[in-house]
Amino acid sequence: MKQLIQSLRNGETMLEEVPRPQVRRGHILIKTHRTLVSLGTERMLVEFGKSNLIEKARQQPDKVKMVLDKVKTDGLMPTLEAVFTKLGEPLPLGYCNAGEVMEVGEGITDIKPGDRVASNGPHAEIVCVPRNLVAKIPDTVSYEEATFTVIGAIALQGIRLANPTLGEVVVVSGLGLIGLIAAELLLANGCTVIGFDFDAQKVALAKEKGILAYNLAEGIDPVQTALSLTEGIGVDAVIITASTKSNDVISQSAKMSRKRGRIILVGVVGLDINRADFYEKELSFQVSCSYGPGRYDEEYEKRGHDYPIGYVRWTENRNFGTILQAISRGQLDVKRLITEVVDLPDYGQIYGNIGNRQSIASILRFPATADWATAVATTSANNKRAIPAGSSMIAIVGAGNFTKMTMLPALGKLNANIKYIVSASGVSGTHLAKKYGIAYSSTSYGDVLRDPEVKAIIITTQHNLHASMVIQALEAGKHVFVEKPLVITEGELAQVKEAYERENATIMVGFNRRFSPFIAKARQLLGTEPGLMNITITANAGFIPATHWTQNMAIGGGRIIGEACHFIDLVTYLAGSPVTEVMANALGTQPAQQADNVSILLKCANGSHGVVNYFSNGHKSYPKERIEVYSQGRVLVLDNFRKLEGFGFKGFSTMRGGQDKGHQAQFAQYLEALKTGTPPPISFDQIVNTTAASFAAIKSFLSGEKVYLNRTSLTAIEQEV
C-alpha cells in the first residue's frame, strides 16, 4: 500500500510503498477514502526538516541539552550516531482520516466492517486505529466533510475550556482552519465572535460566516477594535489559534479581555507574559491539549479504557462525534473551507510548495482499491548487498529504538543474512529494510513463521509479547533470540520451558553485558580459579514516568524484570555460579511492584555475593553503570563500559576504549552458533536462573523476606557458567 512520509533530515515528502498494517485487539482497520492535509502542522514539520542542524538545534533547545548530557556519559561518537539515526527516521504524515472499516479487532462490538468512520489515521491507503480514536460518520456527511472531524475536535476542545455562554463576546485570534471552525462553532453557541488575521482571504471567508473579522495587515489595532466593539468593557474570552513566535498575541489578548476574562491557547505563540496585564484583571489562562480528555493517555487511547461519562462528559472521542453531528445538522459548514481536492499520486501539488500555499483546506483523494499485501520486497540496486538465494536467514520482529540504534548497526557490521524485518505499522520497518539491505518489510509475524528459509527469529517487541512469540517460533521450528526479558510472569516462564523441552529449537536472551571486551578482560584477569568474590553493580538507570509502557506490569513487567535482569546475569557470569538466594529492598515504606529504586542482594551457589543497585533517582550527568569486583585481595572497577581499572593485578592497571556493552560480540557469537549448529553462547538453564532471580527480587522487596530459588540443575548450570 502507499503512505505519505517525511524525512526529518531534509524535509522531503515521499509516497512510500509499505506493507499494510494488521488489525490488533481493540483496533479498527480502515480503507482510506479521503484525508485532510493540516497545512499548519504539516508545513511546520516540512520547514523543520528542511532547516539545517543549527536551525534545528535553535528550535529545540531542550533536546540540545539532552544531547550534551549524553555526550558526557556515552561519548561523542555514540551520541552523534544516535542524533543522525533519529533525524533519518521517516515520519508518517497526517491525522485527519475518513474511510471504510475493513476489519475490527478483538473486543470491538459497536463498529463493524462496511461502516463509514473518521479517525486520526495518517495519509495511508489502509490504517489501523484504536477504537477511542474512531467515530462513525452520519449518513448525511460525506467523506470529504468527515476529514474535518479531528481538526474540528481541536477547535471544540478550546471552546469547551473557554466555557462560553449565550451572548458573550469571544475573540478568535488567527483565522486559519482551526480558527475558522472555532469561530463558527462559537456562533452556533450564541456568541458574538470577533476574528483577527493577516490573510485577506481568510478574513473575507470569516465575514461570510457572520464573524466580525478584521485584517491586521491593514494596520488595525486589535486591542482598540475589541474594546470599541464591547464599549470599553473588554471581551469575555480569547481563543488563540494563531501560530507565531511573537509575544504580541498573548499581550494583546490580555489587554482586550475584561476583568476575570478567559484566555485559551490552542495554537503556538510566544509566552513572555506581562504579569501586570494578568494580575490586575485576574485573568485565567489555559493551554488546550489537542482533541480533548484522553489525548496522550495510553490507557484511554491504546488500551481502550474509556472515562465514565458521569465524570468526564467530553472525551476526545465524544468531541469527534460532536463535530460530525454539527456537520450533519448544518451547524458547521466545512464545504466552503475546501480549497482543493488532489489525488494521492499528485500529492506534490500540495507539499511541493507547502510553505507558500494560501489554501485553507487541502483534501487528498485515495484510489478505490489498495494493496492488501502484508510484506513488500525492498531489495533493490540501492541496497548494500543481495541476499544469497536458498541460504539460511534471520528475521527481526520489532523495529523500535533498540533495533535501529543498536542491533541493526551491529548485525550490519557482521553481514548477517536478514530476510525480514517485521513492524506494527510497516513504516519504520520499511525504512530500516532499505537502509540495511533487508529483503522484505512485513507487518505479519505469520509471514516469518511460515517461511522455510528463516532459520532464526530475533524478537525485540514490547515485553508482554515475548512469551507468545517465542512459543510460536519454537513450534514453527525456528531458533529464537529474544531481547531481554524472556518473559514477564512466572506462568509465562513455565509455558516457555514446556515448549522448549517439547520442540527441537534453541533460545537465547540478549544479556549482552557479559560479552563486552571489558568483561572479557575482567574474566581473564580473575583467572580460572578466582575464588569467592563480592560483586557490586550500580545502575544509574534514570527516571522513567510511571505512565511509560515499561512501568506497566502487564506490558513491560517493570524495570527490575525488564532491565535489572542484565546485571543479575552479569553477576552469575563473573562469579561463575548461578543465583540460589535473593534478598531485595525497594525505596520507600510501601513499594509497588514496578519499583525502580531497588537494592538486590544475590547469593550464588558457590558462596559468592552480588549486589545490584538499580536506581532511577540519580542525575543524568553521572555515569550510568559502574561494576566493582573484589576477589583475593584484588579489585576491578569498570566505569560505564569505557574504562576498566585494576588494583592488585600484576602488569595491569587500566584498559580504556569507546563504550562497548558487548552487543556486537554477542551477535557475532550467536551467528557463529547458528552457522555451526552449536548451542547458543548462553544456555537455557542460565537464562531461566536469571529470569527466576528477577522475579524473586520483586517477591522479596514486597514481602520483606529472602527468596530461595529452586536448586534443581544448579550444579549443571554452575559447570556451564
In sequence order, what are the beta bridge partners of 124? 3
Distance CA 529, CA 584 (A): 29
Lowest model confidence (mean pLDDT) among 319-323, 434-438, 509-513, 692-696 = 434-438
- pLDDT band of residue 51 (cuts 50, 70, 90) is low
User: Of 510, 529, 547, which residue is a domain's last?
Assistant: 510
Q: Are 515 and 574 in contact (CB under 8 A)?
A: no
pLDDT of 53 > 70? The answer is no
| Residue tagged 484566555 (cell numbers) | 263
Find the helix packing angle between 565-575 and 517-526, rounded to 10°.
30
Inform me whether the pLDDT recorded for 276 exceeds 70: yes
Between 91 and 145, the higher pLDDT residue: 145
> Would you give the DSSP letter of residue 123?
S
Query: Is position 309 within any domain?
Result: no
> Is 99 in the same domain as 120?
yes
Could you tell me how many helices (H) and strands (E) the chain has, helices first? 26, 32
Look up residue 249 and give its three cell numbers: 498575541
Lowest mean pLDDT among 363-372, 507-516, 607-616: 363-372
Q: Is the pLDDT of residue 206 over 70?
A: yes
Tens-place pLDDT, residues 35-46 = 999 877 776 666
Q: Please, what's the b/e burial string for 22-54 (b: 16 or more CB within 10 A of its CB; e: otherwise)?
A: bbeebbbbbbbbbbbbbbbbbbbbbebbbeeee
The verdict on 682 and 577 lying in the same domain is yes
Which is more confidently placed, 56 or 127?
A: 127
pLDDT digits (tens, 9 = 90+) for 662-700: 999 999 999 999 999 999 999 999 999 999 999 999 999
Q: What pLDDT was estimated at residue 512?
A: 97
Instruction: Indicate if 467 and 338 belong to the same structural domain.
Output: no
Decide if pLDDT at 62 tops 90.
no
Is the Cβ–Cβ distance between 238 and 283 less than 8 Å? no
Structural domain includes residue 305: no
pLDDT at position 291: 94
**Confidence class of residue 168 from pLDDT cuts 50, 70 and 90?**
very high
pLDDT over 70 at 200, yes or no: yes
How far is Cα 495 from Cα 500, in angstroms, rounded to an integer? Answer: 9
Which run of H or E residues covers position 654?
Answer: strand 654-656
Integer Cα distance of 645 and 518 in angstroms: 10
Residue 378: the pLDDT is: 83
Beta bridge partners of 479: 456
Same domain for 528 and 482: no
In this prediction, what percent of the chain has a pLDDT beyond 90? 81
Answer yes or no: are the C-beta atoms of 579 and 709 closer than 8 Å: yes
| Res. 518: pLDDT tops 90 | yes
pLDDT, position 355: 65
* 277 and 255 belong to one structural domain: yes
In this structure, the answer to whether residues 524 and 644 fall within a common structural domain is yes
For 456, phi then psi, to 5°, come to: -140, 150
Q: Are residues 99 and 177 in the same domain?
A: no
321, part of any domain:
no
Residues 674 and 539 in one domain: yes
> Are 345 and 408 in the same domain?
no
- Please determine, for residue 716, whether its predicted confidence score (pLDDT) is greater than 50: no
- CATH number, domain containing residue 673: 3.30.360.10
pLDDT at 43: 67
**What is the pLDDT of the chain when averaged over all its residues?**
91
Q: Where does the pLDDT of residue 351 fall: very low under 50, low under 70, confident under 90, or very high at 90 and above?
A: confident
SS3 assignment for 432-488: HHHHHCCCEEECCHHHHHHCCCEEEEEECCCHHHHHHHHHHHHHCCCEEEECCCCCC
pLDDT at 384: 43
- Average the pLDDT over 281-293 and give the result: 95
Q: Is residue 427 part of a domain?
A: yes
Among the three residues 467, 492, 510, which one is the final residue of a domain in this structure?
A: 510
- What 3-state DSSP class applies to 43? helix
Q: Which of these ranges, 100-104, 110-114, 372-376, 634-638, has the smallest mean pLDDT? A: 372-376
Task: Check which CATH number belongs to the domain holding 106 and give it.
Answer: 3.90.180.10
Using the predicted structure, report yes or no on whether residue 10 has a pLDDT greater than 80.
no
Do 240 and 263 touch, CB atoms closer than 8 A?
yes
Task: Establish if 119 belongs to a structural domain.
Answer: yes
User: What does the block give as the cell for 216?
Assistant: 491586521
For residue 523, is it within any domain? yes
Distance, in Å, from the CA atom of 610 to the CA atom of 566, rounded to the nearest integer, reads 13
Same domain for 125 and 161? no
The whole model's pTM is what? 0.86
Give dist(CA 263, CA 267) in Å, integer: 12
- Please tell me the predicted confidence (pLDDT) of residue 621: 87
Residue 591 CB neighbour total at 10 angstroms: 17
Is a pLDDT exceeding 80 seen at residue 527? Answer: yes
In this structure, are 683 and 540 located in the same domain? yes
Residues 6+ positions from 1 with CB-CB distance below 8 Å: 17, 18, 19, 20, 124, 125, 126, 370, 371, 372, 373
Q: What is the DSSP letter of 243?
A: B
DSSP letter for 248, please.
H
What is the rounded radius of gyration, in angstroms, for the C-alpha atoms of the chain? 29
Do 569 and 469 lie in one domain? The reply is no
In a domain, residue 416? The reply is: yes
Given this model, what pLDDT does residue 371 score? Answer: 79
What's the mean pLDDT in 139-143? 98
Distance spanning both ends of the chain, measured CA to CA: 49
CB contact set of 219 (below 8 Å; sequence gap of 6+)? none
Above pLDDT 70, what percent of the chain? Answer: 89
Q: Provide the grid cell at 415.
A: 553481514
Residue 307 lies in a domain: no
CATH of the domain at 441: 3.40.50.720
Q: What is the tally of structural domains in the chain?
A: 4
pLDDT tens digits for 456-509? 999 999 999 999 999 999 999 999 999 999 999 999 999 999 999 999 999 999
- Distances in Å between the Cα of 593 and the Cα atoms of 414, 424, 540, 598, 702 are 39, 29, 19, 11, 7
Question: Using one digit for the tens of pLDDT, what is the confidence trace for 330-345?
Answer: 999 999 999 999 999 9
Confidence at 11, pLDDT banded by 50, 70, 90 = confident
Q: Answer yes or no: are the C-beta atoms of 105 and 23 closer than 8 Å.
A: yes
The residue range of the domain holding 89 is: 2-148+334-365
528-566 exposure pattern, b = at least 16 Cβ within 10 A, e = fewer: eebeebebbbbbbbbebeeeeebbbbebbbbbbbbbbbb
